[in-house]
Amino acid sequence: MKILKTAVCFAAVTAVMVYGCRKLYRDGGAGDIAGAEVAAETIPPAETVTEVITEPVSDKELSLTAGKSITFTFLGDCLLASNSGDTRPDSFKAYAAEKPSSYFFEKALPVYEDSDFVVANNEFVISDRNLAKRSKSGTAFWFKSPSSTTDILKSGGIDIVSIANNHSMDYGTKGYNDTAEALDNADILWGDIDHPVYVEKDGVKFGILCANMFGANYEPVITPKFEEMKENSDIQILFFHGGTEKEHVPEDWLVEMCHKYADMGADLIVGSHPHVLRPMENYNGVDIIYSLGNFCYGGSRLPENKTVILTETFNFDESGAYISQEESFIPFYVYSGDHNNWQPTPVTDPVEISKTLAYMYGGKDSPVEP
């Protein structure tokens, strides 16, 4: 039986730029402590962040945590392509033709290369064929890259991707199937609503359900798939794609759906699609990150220039029983320079770090200057 978690502190380890909350277990029914609010209250003003802030951890807790800890790292939207017809010399496509595959994630990889599983949203079609674009209404974009693009994902240390998003069908079913085949050939696990990803380490089986979630009408599709995943895994993660683009506040229907899946047993819920950061919530002990924003994002020369790398650590005792989990955020710029150079870069300014973290833990002010 899993024990409810609740955030109780804020911690910053400035030497390696890892920031997060430690969660303790407690008995009883559904919690009523909003972890995001608790954590936000403990974050000092940006101008005062100059030293490590920690809470002592007992020897017993250290021993239990050391028994077995398994980490998942999540990146925001990864769109390793240029819009169809974009021939600019500084496009993602142009960079991909000139730069080594290691270029794009080289400043991020050292942060998470020791994580057990690295997960990203794969928001583009992978195909070597000259496929017809799927018809779209209004302002439309189509993103497709050759199969060699999987070298970028591999060199970036990405193990698992979601292809449940609004661009995976840009080139119809053929493009979707080509994407899955290219990822299979590169030994990169992929998931969608019909194909949950299962991974196992140290006898613990994790299930990741990747799902589009663009309205409450998606619930009848997602719920039976989530229930099926619960039957086949010890720990459940929902990785959704949904919400209004460029809106920093999650929609009421989206909050309700995430709460529903937390109540159904999700241990972690992570979102993508809005292309901007959204504050996280700790609901009854479950971390809900409504949007990680963009990461390596070929879809815009000037996207909102803040993102975070999320790492969730699941702790178990020596017998394999679940103890607790905690999240950590590492603030990143989506790009450096005057416009997108397709290479996410860590934030090093303590003031900017504090602004981003305060925002992620429930702050109302955007971490990006207007």
Amino acid identity of residue 304, one-letter, is E
Q: Report which of 39, 42, 29 is spatially closest to residue 7, judged by C-alpha positions.
A: 39
Q: Which of 7-21, 55-69, 265-279 has the lowest mean pLDDT?
A: 7-21
Residue-averaged pLDDT of the chain: 86
pLDDT for the residue numbered 224: 98
Structural domain count of the chain:
1
Average pLDDT (281-293) is 97
pLDDT at 282: 96
Q: What is the mean pLDDT of residues 64-76?
A: 83
Residue scoring higher pLDDT (306 or 11): 306
User: How many Å apart are CA 127 and CA 81, to the nearest integer?
Assistant: 11
Hey, what's the torsion of the CAs at 312, 6, 358, 73, to 10 degrees? 10
Say if residue 64's pLDDT is above 50.
no
Q: Out of 34-43, 114-123, 251-260, pick the least confident.
A: 34-43
Query: Of 194, 158, 152, 160, whose CA–CA distance to 177 is shortest?
Result: 194
Assess if residue 158 is contained within a domain.
yes
Say how far apart CA 49 and CA 348 lie, in whole Å.
Answer: 12
Q: CA 53 to CA 117: how far, in whole Å?
A: 27
- Is 66 a domain residue? yes
What 3-state class would DSSP assign to 307? strand
CB 121 within 8 A of CB 78: yes
User: For 77-132, how does the pLDDT look when each residue is reduced to its tens digit (9 = 90+)?
Assistant: 999 999 999 999 999 999 999 999 999 999 999 999 999 999 999 999 999 999 99
Q: What is the pLDDT of residue 19?
A: 52
Find the domain containing 181 and state its range: 5-360
Residue scoring higher pLDDT (66 or 193) = 193
Tell me whether residue 367 is in a domain. Answer: no
pLDDT tens-place string over residues 204-232: 999 999 999 999 999 999 999 999 999 99
Closest CA to 31 of 57, 61, 5, 53: 5
Check: CB of residue 323 under 8 Å from CB of residue 18.
Answer: no
Q: 123 φ, ψ to 5°?
A: -100, 55
Q: What is the CATH number of the domain that holds 322?
A: 3.60.21.10
Residue at 370 is within a domain: no
